[in-house]
A and B are shown apart, each in its own frame.
Chain A
Amino acid sequence: MTDLLDDWRNGGFGLYVHWPFCQAKCPYCDFNSHVTANIDQKQWVKSYNQELARTPEALRGRVLNTIFFGGGTPSLMHPDTVAAVIEAAREIWPFANDIEISLEANPGSVEAGRFAGYRDAGVNRISMGIQALNDEDLRRLGRIHSVAEARAAFDIARSCFDRVSFDLIYARQGQTPQDWETELQTALSMAIDHLSLYQLTIEDGTAFGDRYARGKLRDLPSDDSAADMYQLTQDICAAHGMPAYEISNHARPGAESRHNQIYWRYGDYLGIGPGAHGRITMGGIRYATETYRTPGAWLEAVSKGTGESLRESLDHSEAAAELLMMGLRLVEGVDLDRYASVAQAPLEQEQLINLANLGMVTISDRRLCATDQGRPVLNAILRDLLVG
């Protein structure tokens, strides 16, 4: 059995860099993103690097497996900004030979012009938010690009990078399983080796959330129809050789997003930039970190010494809950022995057997996995396992 001291080795080590700006706020989105007219990229480089510089000694010796520039819209970053952050990271950590450096990009024409610059800065994977493959729906989603622009941007990205993934949102207003099937087939014909396919989630505090609360967000598919679309997605992607490896992520075997896998395998990751979360293990203790959310507050906090707003140690049950919650998202599931060592107690056998009898989970080789049937209701499985 492993103990918590080096539990992080199970997941790898990554760096998340949050870029909090977008050109326009999308009505469904509750990510930490803000719209601002002028951004002083130099100031941001300085602040990111200051944050990197205060990396605790205990984390410095590790090999860095991944870097992820997420947002917001990181494709609004100047390639020099990206390059400077990557260089600063290289000064602190030895990079793994196969280090994965991803950047989220919006599929507009302007950002497409920067792709070569990102490549030169060291980025080797692009994740592009295409969201829908018809213009009408893009408008409804409040997106500022067209399908044609997205396709053009995607082609440029392909020419610059070996690894390009894109995101679609489905179970949208008025969308039927048939509509989605057609769209998905088109997406698969474009895709290289990775796709993120998210069911539309109505989040509180967004424009969609407000409209929904007022009963004004019409024609959303029923849960059953959305569930049908989910199943369809699993089947069609698998048939195209891009099976799900996580709830919403599909890849040819070997092409998975390694950075996101660190989250799901509950490895260690440092989060810098506004509102970034981190999980780091030091001295055998697992810490959760958070930074100030608004760009202004974060910049100011960094200038005063640290952007961190919270660093708390997680107790065994909290860490174990997170391990399970993240791990069961993956098709590969969770190592039960690792769970037991983090939780300092095994999962309750009776619940496991119940869930297995219902066909929600399987247990083999000491690994607990949610089945195809179980993953779409993972929250219910977690409630049973964790709440009892």
Chain B
Amino acid sequence: MTELSKIRNFSIVAHIDHGKSTLADRLIQETGTVQSRDMKEQLLDSMDIERERGITIKANTVRIDYKADDGETYVLNLIDTPGHVDFAYEVSRSMRAVEGSLLVVDSTQGVEAQTLANVYQAIEADHEIVPVLNKIDLPASDCDRVAEQIEDVIGIDASEAIQVSAKTGQGIHETLESIVKLLPAPEGTRDAPLKAMLVDSWYDAYLGVIVLVRIMDGVLKKGMRVKFMSNDTLHHVDRIGVFRPAMQVVDELGPGEIGFLTASIKQVRDTRVGDTITNDRNGCEVALPGFKPAQPVVFCGLFPVDSAEFEDLRDAIDKLALNDASFSFEMETSAALGFGFRCGFLGLLHLEVIRDRIEREYNIELITTAPSVIYHVYMKDGEQIDLHNPADMPDMSKVDHIEEPRIKATILVPDEYLGDVLKLCQDRRGIQEDLTYAGTRAMVVYDLPLNEVVFDFYDRLKSVTKGYASFDYHLTGYREDNLVKMSVLVNDEPVDALSMMVHRDRAEMRGRAMCEKLKDLIPRHMFKIPIQAAIGGKVIARETLSALRKDVTAKCYGGDATRKRKLLEKQKAGKKKMRQFGKVDIPQEAFISALKMDS
């Protein structure tokens, strides 16, 4: 139980890789929260995949005690957040639990797209924002320029921005002091019914579901019965505590404090982030406004390479979903690929992370089909269908019109690459909304169809700008457009897993590109193979993969038959990685690679 005036709660936000987690390390270390022998880089990034990729995926909370220059000891609750746009939801809900944000900006890079996105969220959450210029140890660091940029582009005062090196520890003391001096203390009433915000929850193999809470009013104690207001369920609190960053049990949590509870909850699904937790009787009257749930926006099919592994895949997906409410799935059958799952993700990185985990942690090789988005299909009879999978597209003659999700994309780019970026956005059916300059960088805002972005937009953007552009987006709504389903026929047989929704005007171009790609991806067979793209019954593009003409071992090694037999056995293993469509073997990587566009 800490006096409100001695509490500071804040999130650390920044563009990806600007040094949030490293700054958190220094704050943890400087305050002696973790013994130095237990320190390691990006301590809070504890998932394998986070450590391997060097990025934060899940927001993490730590409580640290800081004895300030004024002689008082403060409790600081910091939340380290992910920088990648796919996990923006983690940032927004973290912000709801705190009063201020440290806005970290890499002083060698300057303001980037997620810097902006995060600032807007922080402003919306009414945060006090403290700018921190990081990486000042690097020769390319230019604090004056970046401070000016912050003022110009973001419009917040950066004259007192703290200059920090999260690597060397320079400026960390000043950061702690600013946190205490500049950020507001939380408010709340101890003598009120319990009102706690359910910030996050996850599954722990030993303790069951762990619920991260921020106490707004009242006191949370072990042994209490509490009510989750969204569904009126009652729970017996069997443990409460704080993260330092290891779990430490405490007796109670008071207003302004952030910590966890466990209550023998079995599934993450039984908790709802943004929910209000209160006393089982005489609880608070008005619930907190809650959060908008995270919605999957990118969908794709996941199929086991070895169809015998379908049940294993189901098991793996079930387990992963236990801990990740933003990931959705339902069974899917494909004529081409057999049984699998149609899964929904927050974005492509999220998709990759889940796919990686299934392949590695559960040892199941996967075929991933082209990512798609949800289309709203309006039928002539008035029915409306949410189309997650182009293969399920109803007969066009019964369709009145189709709407697709649009996004607002913000791209920051050095002006020498501006032309390429504009071309890319135009090619992807974008509508320019804004173009401003901050120094030598341009900020472009585009209204784009999400389906043009989910697949390889980010890769293309990186490649046309040599990695110098940054990109952020959010969904804005649905809009009608001239959309059609393009199917692909290999050797005259439709391959459902390759069908896709495209804009009618771009269909020929996409169809041609797709047929050309497939021609390279499918190995030659003993017969020639027509590869066609079609809309309805109309073929719009066509390539022919000519027949295999040379595949034989020219010479015989004495009587070494073993070598050839082993080679055939290897090919047998290779063939397992292909899928048969009629008489044609298609390699699994073709399902994704065929869709990559070169422009």
Contacts and interface: CB of A to CB of B under 8 A. Distances in A.
Interface of A: 16, 18, 31, 68, 70, 196, 198-201, 223-224, 226-227, 230, 247-248, 260, 262-264, 266, 269, 271, 276-279, 288, 290, 318, 321-322, 325-326, 329, 354-355, 358, 360, 375-384, 386-387
Interface of B: 525-527, 546, 548-562, 564-565, 568, 571-572, 575, 583
Contacts of B558: 16, 18, 68, 70, 263, 271, 276-277
A247 B552 contact: yes
A380 B559 contact: no
A325 B561 contact: yes
A387 B571 contact: yes
A290 B568 contact: no
B569 to A, nearest CB: 8
A264 B560 CA distance: 11
A196 B546 CA distance: 29
Given A279-B561, A387-B568, 4 more contacts: A16-B559, A201-B553, A271-B558, A322-B565
B565 A318 contact: yes
Contact of A378 (B551, B557, B559, B560): B551
Contacts of A226: 550
Contacts of A360: 526
Nearest to A312: B562
Contact of A290 (B525, B555, B562): B562
B553 A379 contact: yes
Contacts of B583: 354
A358 B526 contact: yes
A198 B554 CA distance: 6
A20 to B, nearest CB: 11
B555 A376 contact: no
A360 B527 CA distance: 10
Contacts of A247: 552-554
Contacts of A383: 568, 571-572, 575
A-B pairs, top 8 by smallest CB distance, nearest first, are A227-B549, A378-B552, A379-B551, A199-B554, A277-B560, A322-B561, A198-B554, A387-B572
Contacts of A248: 554-556
Given A271-B558, A271-B559, A381-B526, A375 B552 contact: yes
B577 to A, nearest CB: 12
A371 to B, nearest CB: 11
Nearest to B548: A377
Given A277-B562, A279-B559, A382 B554 contact: no
Most chain-A Cβ atoms within 10 A of its Cβ — which of B546, B549, B559?
Answer: B559
A290 B561 CA distance: 11
Contacts of B565: 318, 321-322, 325
25 contacts: A199-B554, A223-B549, A247-B552, A247-B554, A248-B555, A262-B559, A263-B559, A266-B561, A276-B559, A277-B559, A277-B560, A279-B559, A288-B561, A288-B562, A329-B556, A355-B526, A376-B549, A376-B550, A376-B551, A377-B526, A377-B551, A378-B552, A379-B552, A380-B525, A383-B571
Most chain-A Cβ atoms within 10 A of its Cβ — which of B525, B526, B546, B548?
Answer: B526
A223 B552 contact: no
B530 to A, nearest CB: 16
A201 B551 contact: no
B527 A358 contact: yes
B555 A201 contact: yes
B526 to A, nearest CB: 5
B550 A223 contact: yes
A171 B70 CA distance: 85
Contacts of B527: 358
Most chain-B Cβ atoms within 10 A of its Cβ — which of A264, A271, A290, A376?
Answer: A376
B195 to A, nearest CB: 66
Given A360-B526, A376-B550, A383-B575, A269 B557 contact: no
Contacts of B575: 383, 387
* Interface of B (DSSP majority class): loop
Given A358-B526, A360-B526, A376 B552 contact: yes
A322 B567 CA distance: 12
Nearest to B527: A358
A231 B550 CA distance: 11
Nearest to A375: B552
A358 B559 CA distance: 30
Contacts of A262: 559
B552 A278 contact: no
Most chain-A Cβ atoms within 10 A of its Cβ — which of B546, B556, B572?
Answer: B556
A291 to B, nearest CB: 11
Contacts of A269: 559
A22 B562 CA distance: 24
Contacts of A381: 526
Most chain-A Cβ atoms within 10 A of its Cβ — which of B548, B549, B571?
Answer: B549
B548 A380 contact: yes
A201 B561 contact: no
A380 B526 contact: yes
Contacts of A16: 558-559
B524 to A, nearest CB: 8
Most chain-A Cβ atoms within 10 A of its Cβ — which of B550, B553, B575, B583?
Answer: B550
Most chain-A Cβ atoms within 10 A of its Cβ — which of B552, B560, B583?
Answer: B552
A263 B526 contact: no
A377 B524 CA distance: 11
A356 B559 CA distance: 29
A180 B66 CA distance: 84
B550 A230 contact: yes
Contacts of A271: 558-559
Contacts of B553: 201, 247, 378-379
A234 to B, nearest CB: 13
Nearest to A260: B556
A277 B561 contact: yes
A318 B565 CA distance: 8
B205 to A, nearest CB: 42
B549 A380 contact: no
A378 B564 CA distance: 12
A325 B562 CA distance: 10
A36 B386 CA distance: 75
A377 B528 CA distance: 14
B559 A278 contact: yes
Contacts of B562: 277, 288, 290
Nearest to B549: A227
A70 B558 CA distance: 7
Contacts of A227: 549-550
A180 B595 CA distance: 41
Contacts of A378: 551-553
Contacts of A31: 557
Contacts of B559: 16, 262-263, 269, 271, 276-279
A333 to B, nearest CB: 15
Contacts of B550: 199, 223-224, 226-227, 230, 376-377
A378 B525 CA distance: 12
